[in-house]
Structure 1
Amino acid sequence: MWVSGLTKFRRTAIFTGVSNLLVIILGGLLVIEAYPLCDSQYVVPFVLVSVAAVVRIGVMIQTGIAQETTAKCILQCPSDGTVVADPVIRLERRIRYKKWLWWSRLSMVVLVLQVVCATYLILKTTEYFSKDRTSSGCVLELDSKSSWWKQKLLALFMVMICFVALVQCFIGSDVLKWRSFYETHDKAWKHHYREVFDHGLRETLCCLGRFRYMSTMEEDEVYSVAQLLGDLVAYRASGTGHLELLAGLVLLQRGRKSSESFDECIEAPEMHIWEAAALHKFAEAAYTGPLLDVGRNPFIFPCVWLHRQGVLCPWRRSRRPVLAGDNWWRGHAAAFLKYVNLPPEVLRHGRINQVKCEAAYFVVVLHSLRCVVITIRGTETPEDLITDGLCKECTLSAEDLAGLINCHHSHSDVRKSVTSSFPHYGHSGIVEAAREIFMQIEGNPGEHESSGLLSTLLGVGCECFGYEVRVVGHSLGGAIAALLGIRLYHLYPNLRVYAYGPLPCVDLAVANACSGFVTSIIFGNEFSSCLSIGSVLRLRAAAITSLSEYPRADADTIFQLARQFLYKSKCESSEITSAQDQSDYYSGAIPIEDLNHRLCRSQTEISTIGNTEEDIQEFPLWSEATRCGRVRSDNSEFTNYFASEGNSEHEEHSLWVGDRTKDQGDEIHDGEFTNPFAADVNSNSDLVSHLIDVVQTTENEAASNHPDIYLPGLVIHIVPEPKNSHNALWTPFRLRGKENHYKAYIADREKFKDIVVSPSMFLDHLPWRCHMALQKLLEARNAQSSDGTSLRE
């Protein structure tokens, strides 16, 4: 029985315990030998090191007991999640987890103590050898006449304390293997990681000044996000580790099909591109915090942000508008106005909040263009991340879809398709945020005497009666803008929404119904356009299947592939350029190093887009700035308010990824690393078939439990133009990104159901990249129009 109990221990924990025990024995012998002869100043370091080793072993024992208690408590959770027992077990589980966590952290404190004691002993020993050793009172009176075993004993002790202190710095605090308790129980792994994510999120929020989250014991929004994240790592039950999942993502990235042709796709209408480019500045300016400057100016962002906030000119404070939640010098209002280059009087209302599901927004009135612009900020604060994480579906009410159901100026087929397909679903966090903003700017629509902001601006006889309404936002802000626009459309028929890089937030019927007034702009391979529970589950299953089909997936290869995913590759694209390369790669005929050399030949990353959309409405706003479908460049009002600043803010910057290849809480150890994919292909066929069945089951479960949600409105996909392959080979790599030209096509929203793993999937989501692409699109179309005019002349 003791043998089976011993298998629960990590090999590193056994090694650490034996090493500390040896330090205790050696230290005791040296203290016994030296105490009658040496001064106390030379004996104390040996005593301290030995006592630290004793404490270390004691803490390891307590950590193992707490870890076992925590694991057993998690295993007691009912698999059906009954409502009656869940609150009690949830509280006990959280207490047990905290107890284990504090013992683990005490182990880290003892480690620091051991390092300090070992350093002190080495310094004292060095001091002894640097002095004249003829006098008595030395450590062990080591001289030429000393016993040889004393010298060997001291040398071994010094080596051991240095080795143990160094090794323990790279070993986690876990004593037992979690897998020895959870095995392949899917529910146990889910509950375990729910606690891991829940406490991690709360501590992170506490470090950022949100102390109230640490004292909350009931299930709140943080636990909802942790519950979702725990469900997403259920692959741990099958023996798949985090690094193995990353390795599978790399294989998906390499095995991705080449870009599809866009010959049959319809180019986006010029008016949509023109107005989207003009309004993008407002969506980008909503990031009034330091996040916008961190991405653009990674080294001097504090100075740039303080300058943008108007700290250097406090005498202008009284002239800046007052926003709810703004700082005392009204810096967020100053930052917004400075970026859009508009006077203070145009900013009529706004809010800068740090509460979940309450997004920051700004309301701007442009009299010269007869337009009211509502811009909603994307993800910038931890509360915004919580809103993003509340991505489980919720039912949309009739009030949420009022712009589609009660709209008399829309097509009857649109109203019929929405009313006949109830219930409808949406992203719960985004839906709640859109409802809250609607109440802020419009009030209760059932009250005829509503004093909402938009009613007081756009009502009959009011200041902005007859003005156009534009609602814009980037990322999370774009998705909220779409839901807000759907709710406001029946009240303001001249309303249009532009969402840049939004999250999928509505079901298919609603997404198609709002295509007449909502436009989603997607740039490149940005991940946000495909981010949903269903797409993440499908990506997870595809990565595991891809790794299972790879015959050479040993531990070293997995670490190498995971490292390639965690660090930014020097190659702009990681596609396999030919069917032969792909066949050789998966068969193991060519090594990874040779394949990497082939992969760096320069490829064009273009995501798939779909078919056409009909009945695209003309936009009356700025119609005087166009003639025969061509933009007039001499429109002074448009240039003053919306023209590009022409500065260096559109330059691309690299994002550094932390030097991290392992998770401390889930590292792969020699003792517990079990790779189910290392067998030969022929002998592994049953495993592959089993995993494919698991993947299909997971997809069916995701489809039934989590209905797919889609990008709202008309989807326009901006992609780089394919370059001449002959010229690309002779172009330096560092210059290729700056030579890109772009095309904008009307895309099928079905093409954005699954996440495309690409090296640029995160960088393409940066707002200034989309802005730059829109500007280049307009320049190219203006150049083509000028060439056509000159030829006709």
Structure 2
Amino acid sequence: MMSRKPLLPCRGPTTTPPAQLLLPIRRLLLLPRRRAPSSPPPSPVDRRRPAMAGAGQSVASTAAAASVSAGGATSFRVGMVRVVSFLVGGLNFAVLLLGLYLIDAVLPPGCGSGLALASVPAMAGVRVLAMLGTARAQHATADAIARRHLDEGAASVAEDVVARHEIRVRYKCWLWWTRLGMAVGALQLVGAIYLMFVIVRDLPNERRSTSCFFGQDENDRISKRAIIALFLILSWVVVIVQCFTGSDILRWRSFYATHDMAWKAHYREVFDHGIREALCCLGRAKYLTVLEEDEVYSVARLLGDLVAYRASGTGHLELIAGLALLQKHGNLPDLQTDLVEAPHMLMQEAVILHPFAEACYTGPLLDVGRNPILFPCAWVYRQGVLTPWARRRRPALDGDNWWRGHAAAFLGFVDIAPTALVRGRVRQSKREAAYFVVVLHDKRTVLIGVRGTETPEDLLTDGLCRECSFTREDLDGLINSDQLPVTTRERVISTFPHYGHGGIVEAARELFMQLNDCTGEHTPSRKPGFLSMLLREGSECQGYKIRLVGHSLGGAVATVLGMMLFGRYPDVHVYAYGPLPCVDFVIAEACSQFVTTIVNNDEFSSRLSINSILRLRSAAISALSDNSPADTAMIQKLARRILNMNKYQGNAPDIVEEYVDNHGRLAGRIMQ
């Protein structure tokens, strides 16, 4: 069993014991204030186009922008085609011609190996046709996106729906053409391997009349050898080049130029189809046929907005280079200068309750991390498959399997009696959280454990990170509770409205209704909630404390749920281990009295938000915006070598150091 990750934030070398420091809640649960919907994302002041976008590209972008501004379809131009597409098409055409010549002039009639030779030029011809079809579909897709977002404000709702449907249909058509090209490329690889095998097998028979590729005459044999060797080399060059060129035939920038909305729409479709296909591979095929806007589309729209830096002329490799340089010479401020001594009682209780947050991962994810090779066996054992006779002794959870394996996994991890687990849900739908409710009589505690990210639905909840406004009912515990100072309550009221992570807030609201259903609260038919019944006066759990625990996504959901329960029950406290940012600054300050977060040193998930990504993106683009053309080649070389970090992991810091030593002037500008 792997050792559990440290609970306390630690600084310095890993050999030193972690100091018991409590990271203030406002640093971990902080979401920036909401921007107006019409305001653009933050960007560097007076940002100039990076030097990597050359003069020729600027002229082409201007022409494309003029064409799009005209309101009609963008006509095809040779300049739209990528240079590498010309190279791949020319190589395939050369293979086709040379293969036809070999079949006609070299192979003798009735040769049994002719099929191997004919397959290579045939696949090359199909590849050329696939490239033409892909280019046509790509042109139609890009043109539809550019025309729709040219005058987006003037379009009606009905026209917008029709245009969006047209874009999706055309994008799917282009996607299938690209996959056809990939399939043909794979067949070309198989054909090249088979051709090489046939030629090598025929070499011992080169002096015999049975030889298909080599004649009996010495001069004839030498010339055939040269032609066949050239054909074989050319076939392999085509296969290798196609592996590194990608599926795009045309340049997207020739259509979108610097139109920000067009780039966002393009990447929105890229992420939308990619996420749906990934969910289909994970067993969620229902998302693949959905055409209307759903949670997948919302996540794709957010990701598309984050990649909109392409409109400024910045490429992906250039952004990676900027991030690497910022990491090396950014002089990032120390955000943990106001650490305070962690209260001993809080940290002691956090250590005791941490196994319950970890036990919520009853699926195979926990076993994959601990037993990468034998995780199926470990998970089956942990699920209690080998002890089906104990099924009736385990509690029945919502969504559990027949032998109640998730209940067995949870109970076995924390080693408690089956009667202690009184409620739970392990299989949830969209924007819902899996949870477990445990009664610890020896500690007089009702514990609610919320599971973190484990299923595709959890990933969608993570991705729905647009800001969501809190209602008065959500903040009722903070506004009307006598347990908080008056100044804190007044500040919450005076700074209304407040915002949080959309997916987390919705999941917390649904879980609040599950545990504290107050349907008909103001009517005679009011239905008491589960927690109200469990903690009511005269019950076995009267006077018990409420503790909420969770890790990552579960910690964030537990935090918002604890905020909703606070004030309704006398003793509520939340222990969140590495939670996601989920509320704004004022709410984070107000929750600091009953929420304790524990983060392992520089864990990124607790600092990951939309605005933090936007700030990092803007800083990386600013670092590259003042580059001279002489630095372009070195930056692109640096970016490509960073992509091969796994291969050059040992000397990756030396790569950046070498660049900075040779280009100190650029590093100096970045640090300013």
Length-normalised TM-score, structure 2 = 0.81
**Residues 250-269 of structure 1 mapped to structure 2, 5 A cutoff:** 250-257=324-331, 265-269=339-343
Alignment of 1:51-66 (within 5 A): 51-66=122-137
Q: CA deviation at 1:151?
A: 4.3
2:187 matched to 1:116? no
Correspondence 1:100 to 2:174: yes
Counterparts in 2 of 1:561 and 1:363: CA distance versus 1, 3 Å: same
User: Take 1:453 and 1:566, find their aligned partners in 2: how far apart are those partners?
Assistant: 53
8 Å CA contact 2:433, 2:511 repeated in 1: yes
CA shift, 1:217, in A, is 0.6
Stretch deviating more after TM superposition (294-303 or 84-93) = 294-303
After TM superposition, what 4+ stretches of structure 1 lie above 6 angstroms from structure 2?
261-264, 568-576
| Structure 1 residue 108, shift from structure 2 partner | 1.2
**Separation of aligned partners in 2, 1:251 and 1:405:** 46
Q: After superposing the two structures, state which structure 1 stretch, 473-482 or 214-223, moved more.
A: 473-482
CA drift at 1:105: 0.6
- Tell me by how many angstroms 1:491 deviates: 1.3
| Among 453, 473, 486, the residue aligned to 2:550 | 473
Task: Give the root-mean-square deviation of aligned CA atoms.
Answer: 3.2
Q: Give the one of 264, 269, 276 matched to 1:202.
A: 276
1:44 matched to 2:115: yes
* Contact in 1 for aligned 2:451/2:553 (Cα 8 Å): yes
Q: 1:416 aligns with which of 481, 490, 493?
A: 490
2:498 paired with 1:441: no
Task: Specify the alignment match of 2:592 in structure 1.
Answer: 515
Following the alignment from structure 2 to structure 1, what is the Cα–Cα distance between the partners of residues 298 and 314?
A: 24
Aligned counterparts of 1:310 and 1:295: Cα–Cα separation in 2? 19
Give the secondary-structure state (helix, strand or coil) at the position aligned to 1:461.
coil
The equivalent of 2:309 in structure 1 is: 235
Partner of 1:353: 427
Shift in Å at residue 289 of structure 1?
Answer: 1.4
Whether the 8 Å CA contact 2:280–2:286 is kept in 1: the answer is yes
Whether the aligned pair in 1 keeps the contact of 2:206 and 2:214 (CA below 8 Å) is no
Q: CA deviation at 1:518?
A: 1.7
List per-residue Cα deviations over 1:223-250 (Å, max 9, x = no partner): 0000000000111112222222222222
Instruction: Specify the alignment match of 2:565 in structure 1.
Output: 488
Say if 2:205 is the partner of 1:128. no
Q: 1:571 to 1:356 in 2, by over 3 A?
A: farther
Q: Quick check: 1:38–1:137 contact (8 Å CA) kept in 2?
A: no
Which of 205, 209, 212 pairs up with 1:138? 212
Contact 1:140/1:150 (<8 A) preserved = yes
Does the 8 A contact of 1:254 with 1:575 survive in 2? no
Query: Paired residue for 1:332?
Result: 406
Specify whether residues 534 and 134 from structure 1 end up closer, same or farther in structure 2 by C-alpha distance, changes over 3 A only: closer
**Which of 556, 563, 582 matches 1:505?**
582
| Displacement after TM superposition at 1:196 (Å) | 0.5
Shift of 1:15: 1.3
What is the alpha-carbon distance in structure 2 between the residues aligned to residue 558 and residue 444 of structure 1?
59
Q: Which moved more, 1:466-475 or 1:85-94?
A: 85-94
* Pairing 1:157–2:157 present: no
Distance, in Å, in 1 between the alignment partners of 2:171 and 2:338 is: 57
Tell which deviates more after alignment, 364-373 or 519-528. Answer: 519-528
465-474 or 136-145, which deviates more: 136-145
3-state SS, counterpart of residue 223 of structure 1 = helix
Q: CA deviation at 1:291?
A: 1.5
Cα deviation digits, residues 502-537 of structure 1 (max 9, x gap): 112112222222222122222211112222111110
Partner of 1:775: none
Q: Cα deviations across residues 459-482 of structure 1 (Å, max 9, x unaligned)?
A: 111121110110111111111111
- Mapped to 1, the partners of 2:355 and 2:654 lie a distance apart of 33
Which residue does the alignment assign to 1:10? Answer: 82
1:320 CA drift (Å): 1.2
Q: 1:178 to 1:306 in 2, by over 3 A?
A: same
Q: Once the two structures are aligned, what percentage of the paired residues are identical? A: 51
Structure 1 residue corresponding to 2:610, chosen from 533, 536, 558: 533
Tell me the residue number matched to 1:669. Answer: none
Shift of residue 205, structure 1, vs aligned partner: 0.1
How far has the Cα of 1:414 moved from its partner?
Answer: 2.7
Q: CA deviation at 1:549?
A: 5.6
C-alpha displacement at 1:140, in angstroms?
A: 5.6
Gap runs ≥5 in structure 1: 591-679, 693-793
Shift of the 88–293 alpha-carbon distance from structure 1 to 2, 3 Å rule, reads same
Write out per-residue CA displacement over residues 151-181 of structure 1, whole angstroms, 9 at most, x where no aligned residue.
4333322322232233323332221122222
Which residue in 1 is equivalent to 2:26? none
Q: Give the residue type in structure 2 aligned to 1:431.
A: V
Larger deviation, residues 72-81 vs 93-102: 72-81
1:361-409, Cα deviation, whole Å (9 max, x unpaired): 0000011111100010111111111101111111111111121123244
What is the SS of the residue equivalent to 1:7? Answer: helix
The alpha carbon displacement at 1:53 in A equals 1.5
The amino acid across from 2:555 in the alignment is G
CA distance in 2, matches of 1:530, 1:33: 68
1:418-443: CA deviations, max 9, x gaps? 22222111111011000100111111
TM-score normalised by length of structure 1: 0.69
1:60 & 1:277 partners in 2: Cα distance? 59
Contact 1:497/1:519 (8 A) holds in 2: yes
Deviation at 1:562, TM superposition (A): 5.9
Distance 1:344 1:510 in 2: 37
- Which one of the candidate residues 142, 145, 149 is aligned to 1:78? 149
- CA distance in structure 1 between the aligned counterparts of 2:101 and 2:478, rounded to whole angstroms: 84
State which of 89, 95, 119 in structure 2 corresponds to 1:23. Answer: 95
Which letter maps to 1:424?
H
Q: Aligned-pair distance for 1:134? A: 3.0
Q: For residue 477 of structure 2, what is the amino acid of its counterpart?
A: G
- Is residue 472 of structure 2 the alignment partner of residue 398 of structure 1? yes
Label 1:574 to 1:10 Cα distance change in 2 as closer, same or farther (>3 A): closer
CA distance in 2, matches of 1:269, 1:136: 89
Quick one: which amino acid aligns to residue 141 of structure 1? G
Structure 1 residue 69, shift from structure 2 partner: 0.9
Give 1:505-654 correspondences, 5 Å limit.
505-548=582-625, 553-561=631-639, 563-564=641-642, 567=645, 586=660, 588=662
Distance 2:231 2:465 in 1: 56
Retained in 1: the 8 A contact 2:124–2:188?
A: yes
Range with greater deviation from structure 2 (127-136 or 302-311): 127-136
**2:388 maps to amino acid:** P
Q: Which residue of 2 aligns with 1:181?
A: 255
Structure 1 residue aligned with 2:295: 221
Q: 2:517 aligns to what SS in structure 1?
A: coil
Question: Any unmatched runs of 5+ in structure 2?
Answer: 1-62, 64-74
Structure-2 change in CA distance of 1:525 and 1:575 (3 Å): farther
Query: What residue identity is the alignment partner of 2:553?
Result: L
Structure 1's 159 and 575: CA in aligned 2 closer, same or farther, altered over 3 A?
closer
Equivalent pair of 1:389/1:429 in contact (CA under 8 Å): yes
Cα distance in structure 1, aligned partners of 2:76 and 2:473 = 61
Does the CA contact (< 8 Å) of 2:202 and 2:213 recur in 1? yes
* Correspondence 1:306 to 2:383: no
Q: CA deviation at 1:103?
A: 0.5
Instruction: Tell me if the contact between 1:43 and 1:139 (Cα under 8 Å) persists in the aligned partners.
Output: no
Cα distance, 1:102 vs. partner? 0.5
- Residue in structure 1 matched with residue 368 of structure 2 by the alignment: 294
| DSSP-derived class of the 2:499 partner | strand
**Aligned equivalent of 1:362:** 436
Tell me the distance in 2 between the aligned counterparts of 1:510 and 1:572.
Answer: 44
